[in-house]
Structure 1
């Protein structure tokens, strides 16, 4: 089993200096690719000095874009993705590869509570995990972890779905669940990041985190999100109609609006479900030879 380790990095020379030396011992003979996402420090030089193949971008395109570029260039049957900030210990890679050899297509290194950047991020990730578990019917331990091993051919099926920003782990995980590719989790500790501060900004990325919630739903089964919403509108409309009929003896415009919204939201869910199915069908068709 040929292995490629891909590390997206933006101004992460200190983190790479801590991570790269341990890769040779953890996965001997593995191809190591560092995708330099428009760094302004010596990230590329540090990576090259430690024997990594460096793919440099002239400007920052985003973490997801770096992941896609690394996945396209990878020559291994299995790709291991790691953050370039020094949080992930290469010694844990064999744990992920053992689960790949056991038949899983995606293995995610699940962080414990101490591995979250801060309290707000920890609470947000807990919400994502809960929602994803409900959507998929499987226990999701860490939806947003960037430390994962995946079968390269399966992962490349979904490259066109991945955003260029930071939510590639969410997107790829939900895509694997949707396509019935086996997914599992391996608990791992993570270290404190080194080098530059996190590129995530709470205020700037607040809307992005909310959009991830909808991305989780739409990537797996939109109707699971739209149907309860439609039911809420319907029950509210019926309840309001019962109240106005009892107190005023009439059917109001508000009741009509709520009931109409229930029908519209439900129909949007049905259409979204069909679009999601066609999206995955197209992804599989694009990977089939001939």
Structure 2
């Protein structure tokens, strides 16, 4: 079992964790690998302490992000420790020794993806609470699966999935969510074990950048929002032009909706859900037309229900549009632009995969610095 720790500008918590893992090493047969994600010379003493405590330290000069650090670690493990399962943990004190060993034990026993799910009890920093709630909702819409903790950094992976893990897109914090999204799209089971919720100094040691990294994580939903807004603008402009040209309300409404639906379908197929491009156009277009009819009926039914319940027309309309927006995203992500053979195209957990090439260290002028295990 390999404990993989991606690390950027660590503090004393990192060598402390290594010393604790070393004490459990003989019993649990652990090997510890740290990837220095371009922390800089000022942090070399911390990595030297971790190495002296029993870890292998590899890395590169420039920062490339947590996702790339994990991929680099997976590549190193495949080359040097083939057949070993991996537990990914953070080195900032948020994961206790007991929880790391708990995840390692579950992966060894079941050879499945194991998530260390925090219970979010006690004092949870506001940005962490909001971020986790938003990501849970997004993940549920995209996959139909409700996870308590989609942002956990404590995860276990069986050895046969390492080549697949290197193929997942994303180099920074969005990578870990992309892993879960791809895993569910391929039908993988996501196992979990409860772990403690630990935030030190209100999580000030976290290198998560709220605006930039959130944009990366929620990119599919944000692109869908932009596509929907573009459809609204096209619908409005087309309606006004057709009204001026024909004077017919029915022709203007029907024509504008047809034009905006065509634009929305094209944008979603090419930019928002690019995986849908593998579907024949007639199939995806037929599915989209059926969805438009479904949403039209749902819009009328919801609006009628809200107004009969006593809600004013304008807030009822806003609430209806919000519900339909989330419903439309979920349907298009999970069904409309998804191919039937998506599951069969992915790796199987019961057999090793050899069709993927090993990921290399980040493409840059930096050479990887590798030190021998002590």
TM-score (norm 2): 0.61
Q: Secondary structure of 1:124's match?
A: helix
Alignment of 1:201 with 2:209, yes or no, is yes
- Alpha-carbon displacement from aligned partner over 1:17-70 (angstroms, at most 9, x marks no partner): 221122131663211001111223123202111110000212222111111111
Tell me, yes or no, if structure 1 residue 30 matches structure 2 residue 30: yes
Of the three residues 1, 4, 15, the one matched with 2:2 is 4
Aligned to 1:221: none
1:138 aligns with 2:145: yes
Check conservation: 1:13, 1:46, Cα contact below 8 A.
no
* Structure 2 residue aligned with 1:106: 113
Match of 2:218, SS state, is helix
CA distance in 2, matches of 1:117, 1:11: 23
Distance in 2 of aligned mates of 1:152 and 1:79: 7
CA distance change for structure 1 residues 132 and 217 in 2, over 3 Å: closer, same or farther? farther
How far 1:116 moved relative to its partner? 8.4
Q: Which runs of 5+ in 1 are unaligned?
A: 219-224
| 1:56 matches 2:59 | yes
Contact 1:157 1:287 in 2 (8 A): no
Distance 1:133 1:45 in 2: 42
Partner in structure 1 of residue 199 of structure 2: 192
Whether the aligned pair in 1 keeps the contact of 2:2 and 2:32 (CA below 8 Å) is yes
**105 and 72 in structure 1: CA distance in 2 versus 1, 3 angstrom threshold:** same
Contact 2:14 2:92 in 1 (8 A): yes
TM-score calculated relative to the size of structure 1: 0.77
Unpaired segments of 5 or more residues in structure 2?
279-337, 358-374
- Identify if the C-alpha distance between structure 1 residues 125 and 258 changes in structure 2 by more than 3 Å, giving closer, same or farther: farther
Residues 53, 116 of structure 1: CA spacing in aligned structure 2 closer, same or farther, 3 A cutoff? Answer: farther
Task: Name the CA distance, whole Å, in 1 between partners of 2:258 and 2:342.
Answer: 30
Partners of 2:173 and 2:213 within 8 A in 1: no
> Structure 1 46/126 Cα, relative in aligned 2: closer, same or farther at 3 Å?
same
Asked if the contact 1:81–1:146 (Cα under 8 Å) also holds between the matched residues in 2, the reply is yes
**Segment drifting more, 186-195 vs 8-17:** 186-195
Distance 1:129 1:164, change over 3 A: same
2: CA distance, partners of 1:4 / 1:177: 24
Deviation per residue, 1:193-239 (Å, 9 max, x gap):
4797322233xxx1431342234799xxxxxx69x959x96xx88xx
Kept after mapping to 2: 8 A contact 1:4/1:30: yes
SS at match of 2:63: coil
Higher RCO (CA 8 Å, separation ≥ 6 residues): 2
SS at match of 2:249: coil
Deviation at 1:150, TM superposition (A): 0.7
Work out the number of aligned pairs and report it. 275
SS in 2 for 1:164: coil
Worse-superposed segment, 264-273 or 172-181:
264-273
Residue in structure 2 matched with residue 288 of structure 1 by the alignment: 355
